[in-house]
Each structure stands twice: as structure tokens, then as C-alpha cells.
Amino acid sequence: MKTVRDRFWIWGQEANSHNMYALGGSSKMTAVEGAYYLGVPNCCRVVMADKPRPPFDQDSMAMDSLDRVVWSIVGSGGSTSNDDGWGDVDEVARQARNHPNVEGAIFDDFLSEHRRRIFPPERVGDIRHRLDTGAGRPLPLWVVLYEHELIPAVQPYLDECDVITFWTWRSEHLADLAANYATVREMTPDKRRLMGVYLFDYGNNCPMPLDRLQRQCEQGLQWLGEGSLDGMIFCSNCCADLGFETVAWVRRWIAEVGSTPL
């Protein structure tokens, strides 16, 4: 029987790659360390500020200890090495060929106006074909969608992807989470959907208010139980070793609810 913990992921990025934010220290925690520290079995391993660069073998080997892995084809908005119209599709396909637990590929910060100019919707279909051919098996395409991107212009991209990860960039907008998620469901009726959970308020460059995080987690747990949400992704290892109360609370909460059957 599947449990709540099976649906939990870490947003895994290069150690200390969030140092442009006011985190109050230098993080040394890797993505795999973050997964074990939080107590989650799955990882979205995403290039941040052009790190890591291919080949990804060392990271994938470390993640063999996890249940499920999704690698980024297009990394964070600051990862300009991915902006060639193809991203890291060939390298992700190679990792999937060599590591059976790689079960998908994700586009991060993909629906910005800048990225939409580089990657027209039809290119997503081309990337899918190249990915599946290189991997030797079909791999779902994941995409990041923010609350400020719920606009008609992104619909063709959502239609081309299989899994939607919905993120609320600014913590004050979590007050509108239920309404915004209802819009996401209307825009993606036949897709798998996961919710991103920030442990630091990156949109405001300050610590995440604990009460906002708690309400988001409890809402996500309810949606998981109802079947309208497929999982939750915690961001990230890059702030998990810096003493934030949100991290301590999430660790306890995952330990408490993780064994709940679904």
C-alpha cells in the first residue's frame, strides 16, 4: 500500500547554489543528503545557475539510493547553458538509460516570456521524441508553473507536458492557494499535479512565515487524500542545513504523517 511519504519529493540542487538569497549562511547539504534529512524518498534534481554541468553520472549514482528521480532538461532561469533550444535532453536520456529510477524530465522556469521565445510549444514535442528515443522508453515531461503564470499564453505548453508542478513564489499569495489551484486543475484536467513547498520565502528573500508553511502542508495533505494532488515537492536542500524553523517543523511533520496510507 502506498503511503503519503511515497508522494513526497525534494527539489534537489547544487549545494550552496542559492547563495544569491539572504539565507544567512552557506549551505553544504547535497540533494541526496537533503532527501534523507527530510525523510523523503524521491528527488527532482534540477540544474541551478548552470550547475551541475553534464555529465550527470556522479549525481545519478548517488541518487540510485532513492526511489524516483526526475532530472531537469531546462534548469533555473539563471542557467543560460540550457537556452539553446534543446537543453540537456540528450544527457537526461542517457541517465535514464543507465539508471532505472530516472522516471521523468522537468522544465524549470520554463514558462517565462524569455524561455517561451526560445522554446516554442512545438519544440516540446520534438524534445519528447528525442528524450524517449534516447532513453529507450517513454519518460513523462514535467514543468514548473507559478501562481503568476496562470495565463492563456502558457496553455499550449501545459498541454504538451504530462506532470504539472505548481509553485507559489511569494508567500503572501498562499492566501489564494485554493483558488489558484482550482484554476490549475481547470487548465490541466488530465494531468498529474504536484505542489511545490518552499522552506524559505524566495519571492520575498526572507524566512518563510511558519504559519503559512503549515497551512500549505495541511492543505496539500488534504488534497493528497482526496486524490486531486499527486505529490508535494520541498525546496530545498540548499536551505535545509541553515537552522530555519520551517525545516525543523517539516521534518517533524513528515515523520508524523509519512506512514499514512493512500
DSSP characters over the chain? --BGGGGEEEEE--TTTTTTS--SS-----HHHHHHHHT--EEEE--BTTBSPSP-HHHHHHGGGSSEEEEEEE--TT-GGGTTTTTTHHHHHHHHHH-TTEEEEEESS-SSHHHHHHS-HHHHHHHHHHHHHHHTS--PEEEEEEGGG-SGGGHHHHHH-SEEEEE-SSGGGGGGHHHHHHHHHHH-TTSEEEEEEESEETTTTEEPPHHHHHHHHHHHHHHHHHTS--EEEEE-GGGTTS--HHHHHHHHHHHHHTT-B-
Distance between CA atoms of residues 92 and 130, nearest Å: 10
- Number of neighbouring beta carbons within 10 Å of residue 225: 13
pLDDT for 84: 85
pLDDT for 209: 98
pLDDT for 213: 98
Q: Are strands 200-201 and 192-198 parallel, antiparallel or unpaired?
A: unpaired
Taking the chain (262 residues) in runs of 10, the rounded mean pLDDT of each run is: 95 97 98 98 97 97 98 93 90 98 98 95 96 98 98 98 98 98 98 98 98 98 98 98 98 98 96
Cross-strand bridge partners of residue 232: 8, 195
pTM summary value: 0.98
pLDDT for 170: 98
pLDDT for 78: 86
Nearest residue to 92 via CA among 48, 41, 128, 143: 128
Distances (CA, A) of 49 to 14, 26, 169, 231: 9, 16, 18, 26
